[in-house]
A = this chain, B = another copy of it.
Amino acid sequence: AAASVGILDVDLCGPSIPRMLRVCRPEVHQCEAGWVPVYTDQQQNLALMSIGFLLEDPDEAVVWRGPKKTALIGQFVRDVAWGELDILLVDTPPGTSDEHLAVVENLRKHKIDGAVLVTTPQAVSTGDVRREITFCKKTGVQILGLIENMSGFVCPHCSECSNIFSKGGGEELAKLTGSEFLGSVPLDPLLTHSLEEGSNFLQAFPESATFSAINNIAQKLLLHMKDG
């Protein structure tokens, strides 16, 4: 049977999961066990919860200060009827602040497998991720690995590769910090388009280099989960 997966989007000021998975503005229902997550499929294998589902108006500005963010994230963990999940994936905003502390504190008793850190290749970005590595060490969260996103662009017209955001910063950071490098995901207009439309990139481009890169990373992570 397919694994049961939950995705919890805690980027309260910039929730992107609803659009990327094409579940904009569904109704969130209550049941006895709490809020019912939104399912993308009939088999209910993929359960989603995001602040994006709870806003009346998608343009509404979430001008909540830290303590209110912390409270909502606690509710998302405790008061959503997730059911039996094999994996809960939490999508955080960048940084090391209220959202990250709230996730770690609320999930500690459920045993956190670890963090997957995503950087772009430039030093400005790897610097931020270095601080996230320090955060994980301080809070006792294992680092499952690093991913380099926006890593090179192959021109569809001439097939030449340009490293628009520099190159190799993710792999270098993994070496420096003793973390596993999980792989690179290239810049790909077809992937951007799929995420804009909320369409299935795997179904549309199963033979693409981009899908292969993403799939390799997912396989490595699944191995970690089985070992862990």
Contacts and interface: CB of A to CB of B under 8 A. Distances in A.
Interface stretch (A38-46, A81-89, A129-137): A129-137
A196 interface: yes
A97 B65 CA distance: 6
Contacts of A223: none
Nearest to A195: B124
Given A61-B135, A166-B193, 11 more contacts: A16-B124, A16-B127, A59-B133, A61-B131, A62-B96, A63-B96, A64-B97, A65-B101, A122-B192, A157-B162, A158-B158
B187 A164 contact: yes
B65 A19 contact: no
A118 B12 CA distance: 19
B69 A127 contact: no
A138 B63 contact: yes
B69 A123 contact: no
Contacts of A162: 153, 155-157, 189
A102 B156 CA distance: 45
15 contacts: A14-B131, A16-B124, A59-B133, A63-B101, A65-B97, A66-B66, A93-B94, A98-B98, A124-B195, A155-B155, A157-B158, A158-B160, A162-B189, A164-B189, A166-B196
A60 interface: yes
A208 to B, nearest CB: 15
A212 interface: no
A73 to B, nearest CB: 13
A217 interface: no
Contacts of A62: 96-97, 131
A58 interface: yes
A20 interface: yes
B19 A123 contact: yes
A95 interface: yes
A67 interface: yes
